[in-house]
Amino acid sequence: MASGSSRYTYTIGPPVRPTAGATTSSTEVLHITVAFLVLTFDFLLLFGGVAFYQAPLALAIATAAAAAFTGFVAHELAHKLSAESGGYWAEFRLSPLGLFVSVLTASFGFLFAAPGATRIGGMSNVRDWGRTALAGPATNFVFALAFLGGSFATSTDARFATLSTVLLFLAYINAWFAAFNMIPFGPLDGAKVFRWSKGVWAGTFVVFAAVAGTLFFFFAVV
């Protein structure tokens, strides 16, 4: 989720707009890699309660990595690219405490993850904050629909039963990431979208939550 204060500004990088184009640094690459690996481990801890737990270890690792990448890395990259498209400095920074909490909760069978945030420099426009915040959950939602479509397409063939369940799991994770992050509270993305446009927030939140709830039903049934 993008970071911001109650006045919609959070300057950690250059306070003015830098040159256009996507940029990164060795620090950002290190931080997002560590967070990705820890979240992959978190998902592996959760797999004891899902139907494909008895699948080969390679498949379990690949599924966990896909969940971490689409649910988290792509989410943060969407924030970053959205901010940079407006000319702002934006880089991800991990939270050691957040990563520790994610491992702790995953070990108890549920996941509460706040592994870090995309920090943005110089953004003071409510509209820019809202659009940048929305980019993350919207990316999760697109992944959820894509994985759901793949799950349905493979569900009619018994040979692909495990793959269908894996895709449904990935759809479920992304849908809930999208819906949860749209809650208009504290540092969550939904708070920034709500401040920008209550209409946009309401429309997206209802759709994201409806899909997440539906996927919960399908995943519970499977």
Tell whether 4 is covered by a domain: no
- Of the chain, the end-to-end C-alpha distance in Å amounts to 30
Tell whether 213 is covered by a domain: yes
Tell whether 8 is covered by a domain: no
Tell whether 43 is covered by a domain: yes
- Residue of 66, 64, 62, 90 whose CA lies nearest to 78: 90
Tell whether 17 is covered by a domain: no
pLDDT value at residue 20: 56
Two tokens, residue 153: 């397409």
φ, ψ of residue 108 in degrees (nearest 5): -100, 10
What pLDDT digit, counting tens, does each position of 12-38 carry?
444 445 545 668 899 999 999 999 999
- Listed range (57-66, 75-84, 169-178, 198-207) with the worst mean pLDDT: 57-66
Tell whether 9 is covered by a domain: no
Tell whether 41 is covered by a domain: yes
Which residues, 6+ apart, have CB-to-CB distance to 30 below 8 Å? Answer: none
**Does 7 have pLDDT greater than 50?**
no
pTM listed for this prediction: 0.85
Tell whether 5 is covered by a domain: no
Q: For the chain, what is the domain count?
A: 1
What pLDDT digit, counting tens, does each position of 134-153 carry?
999 999 999 999 999 999 99
pLDDT value at residue 58: 83
**Does 95 have pLDDT greater than 70?**
yes
Share the mean pLDDT of the chain.
85
Range of the domain at 128: 26-221
CB 88 within 8 A of CB 121: yes
pLDDT value at residue 114: 85
- Listed range (88-97, 149-158, 192-201) with the worst mean pLDDT: 149-158
Share of the chain above pLDDT 90, in %: 56
Q: Please give the Cα distance from 70 to 146 (Å, whole number).
A: 11
Two tokens, residue 164: 């269908």
What pLDDT band is residue 48 in, cutting at 50, 70 and 90? low
